[in-house]
Chain A
Amino acid sequence: MRVVNVLLAAFVVASAFVIYELKYESRALKQRVAELRQSIKVERDAVAVLRAEWSHLNRPERVAKLARRHLGLKPLKAGQILTARQYDSIRQPTPAEVAARLLGKTLPADPNHTASIN
């Protein structure tokens, strides 16, 4: 009987220790959860600020102004829109012509290609 009691007492002490350990561990984890929650919130708020800034910088009013200043772009006119059928009926520039335009000088004609143009 004494042995049993001693064992029980030892068990009580041991389990108390285990519980103590677990409790502190869980408290640390809980703190971690709270910290993470908080940092998620902080990040979310930061993301909201960045998204707002992104939208602010991309507002059409500003983009239109920048496009006018730096790209020379203007609002689209109806005459600039074609259907696929209409596109077919227009003679397309050859790759050589396109390259020439891009480079700003004429290139020697490519005999292989000019042959295939209608």
Chain B
Amino acid sequence: MGQTLVQKILARATGRSFVSVGDILEPAVDLAMSHENAALVINQFLEIYKGTGLEPKVWDPDKIAIIFDHRVPAESAKTATNQKIVRDFVANQGIKKFHDIRTDEMGICHQILPENGYIRPGYVVVGTDSHTTSHGALGAFSFGIGATEMASVWTLGRILNVQVPETIKITVDGKFQKFVEPKDLILYIVGLLGAEGANFKVIEFHGETIRNLSTSGRLTICNMTVEAGATSGIVPPDEETIRYLREVANVQDEIEIICPDEDAKYEREIKIDVTNLEPQIACPHTVDNVKPISEVAGVKINQIVLGSCTNGRLEDLEAAAKILKGKKIAKGVRMLVFPASGRILKEAIRRGYILDLMEAGAVVVNPGCGPCLGVHQGALGDGEIALSTTNRNFKGRMGNPNSEVYLCSPSVAAVSAIHGVITDPRNGG
């Protein structure tokens, strides 16, 4: 019997030829990622070693990545102190995949990992962040875990208690209309499955639309699979994956390609044709409250947010800059732009996108998670409404329980910024 991509990855990571759905495994971990919450991981890691008489030593410093992105530069003494604890630990343990607060290395973890070649097809990747699902875009089995679980991984080099998940196969065909983007597709899928529709399951993506997408678009899609509860999203690696790893991530060594078997068994199969898909909006206060833009157009906006691990890549900034070039953001609306990495920011400056956005009135913030989770910048006032290219609109998400967040694509964000209300980019930008 054939195996899904995740079954094959887990079989390899446990030295078997076959694993069945439901098996409980302890796969070896190829990459273990944390951000600022590494401070908590360190606390739990030292706790594990307490009383053992052993010197606390991570299993393999080359397989650990730590990226500061949630609160950069530090917004408080507490964060700054936590960051200092992490910096000291990283130096002591010899962890080299560490990205500090400087433009030549910083960015959001889910951009830093792929663009630095830390992710390869077939890897088992764990991260103390729920959007670790993103890295399935490169054919890895990549999922979010808690801080204590990460401390266990740092100790043992494997992750305990992984139950081989069922896989939902989604095949996407058709060509997107102009101004319809990967974000619209994943919002549509989250709406279709519901917030817990894929809980404990993996979503494997197939079809010509996915094959024609760049890795950037695939990252957007896999990023938000967790909003349907999925353990991970995954795209079988192909020529585009190799192109990205060679040309963008500058990977020199051999790249192994693992693909699902033709006769793999799926929990269910869903087919989607995007030919007539219109831009999608996730309405307050759940990500699965998704409506076509025609039902939401006209809602007045106070703040536009462009960026995040979902939509802060070069293609996203380009889409927005093209719409906003020579235009002005509506009076009374503020637009915040936070690119996904320093490298993206620099390239967007070179290409003129940043200037176009700034001349339209946007405020460009340093790379990082920014206002997405309401811990740093761009909090909303009471009764205010944000339209954002980020991934969550839970009550209180942008720092204020008395505000609302709508989620959309970069093109919708840009054209809505001009009009001050949610606007369909297909109806004239």
The answer to whether A and B interact is no
